[in-house]
Amino acid sequence: MKPAGSTTLHRVLRSIAAVLSLAILFNQSARAATIHQVPAATQTPQAPPPPQQAPVPVQIAAARNIFLVNNGADANFPLTAQDAYNRVYSALQAWGHFQLVTSPDQADLVFQLRDIAPVTGVYGDRTGAYAINSPAFQLAIKDPKTNVTLWTVNSPVQIAGRKAARARWLDIAVTNLVSRVKVLANQPLDETETANLTTYPHYHGTGFAIGLTAILLGAGVATGLIMKHEFDNHVANQNAALCAQNPFFCNLPTP
């Protein structure tokens, strides 16, 4: 027969062992859950796939005969509609990829040219508010059988400088319009055509710098003259005050 004290001690030890076993089991479960959660928490999110490029209608690359339509020009466009039409017609003819026909019945595609000048900004000063226009050639490519617009091409028309510079930038705008059509027709661009697509004039750069320099110089000269005038007046007032106090000094004979 075991003593009562040893039985009580045995029960206490068994209770402690049970508690320790539960603690160890709980700790192992917690670590396992943490291990499974870490990869999910530290996993780098994947970037979404790039959007799929929409296909160009096959009629554009397959076309050989086109009919160019003059759809007019907006009021603020820097060229007349006829002048813009003549420039684009000549550029397409010089390219030689398409045969320009005189009737839509003979054409595989109809090119409708519109010279647009949408308002893209507004600014104002003390004299009033002014709209900012962004002129561009807009070419709608249509299927003559269904009259469905297959594609629309826009080419900004940059205007800068005097007569020779303006003519150069207009030529670049027309070239860029044809270059965009070449890309749709799966035709290669040369180095000059590729470079022209990202060539833009620097508006008012030199003129603004010269004007700002002239304004600063003029302000400096005007400030100097005003300061000299104020100094002369100050000296004259001091001399007048001294003469009033002691006329003897103001009446001295000149040597």
How far is 210 from 208, CA to CA, in rounded Å?
Answer: 6
Higher model confidence: residue 34 or residue 189?
Answer: 189
pLDDT at residue 204 tops 80: no
* Per-residue pLDDT reduced to its tens digit, 44-86: 778 888 888 889 999 999 999 999 999 999 999 999 999 999 9
Residue for token digits 């006829």? Answer: 82
Output the six-digit token pair for 52.
Answer: 């799929």
Q: Which of 131, 137, 182, 178 is nearest to 155 (CA)?
A: 137
Average pLDDT value for residue range 221-229 = 53
Q: In Å, what is the CA distance from 254 to each residue of 191, 247, 249, 251?
A: 84, 15, 11, 9
Work out the pLDDT band at 26, boundaries 50, 70, 90: low
Work out the pLDDT band at 36, boundaries 50, 70, 90: low
Average pLDDT value for residue range 136-140 = 97
- As a whole-number percent, the residues of the chain with pLDDT over 70 amount to 62
Work out the pLDDT band at 252, boundaries 50, 70, 90: very low
Q: Of 59-63, 72-76, 214-218, 233-237, where does mean pLDDT reach its minimum?
A: 214-218
pLDDT at residue 113 tops 50: yes
pLDDT at residue 200 tops 50: yes
Read off the pTM: 0.60
How far is 53 from 72, CA to CA, in rounded Å?
Answer: 32
The pLDDT of residue 132: 87
Find the farthest-apart pair of alpha carbons in the chain and give their distance in angstroms, rounded.
149
Phi/psi for 77 (5° steps) reads: -75, 140
The pLDDT of residue 23: 59
Average pLDDT value for residue range 219-229 = 53
Beginning with the edge strand found earlier in the chain, give each strand of the sheet holding 136-142 in spatial order: 99-100, 65-73, 109-116, 136-142, 149-156
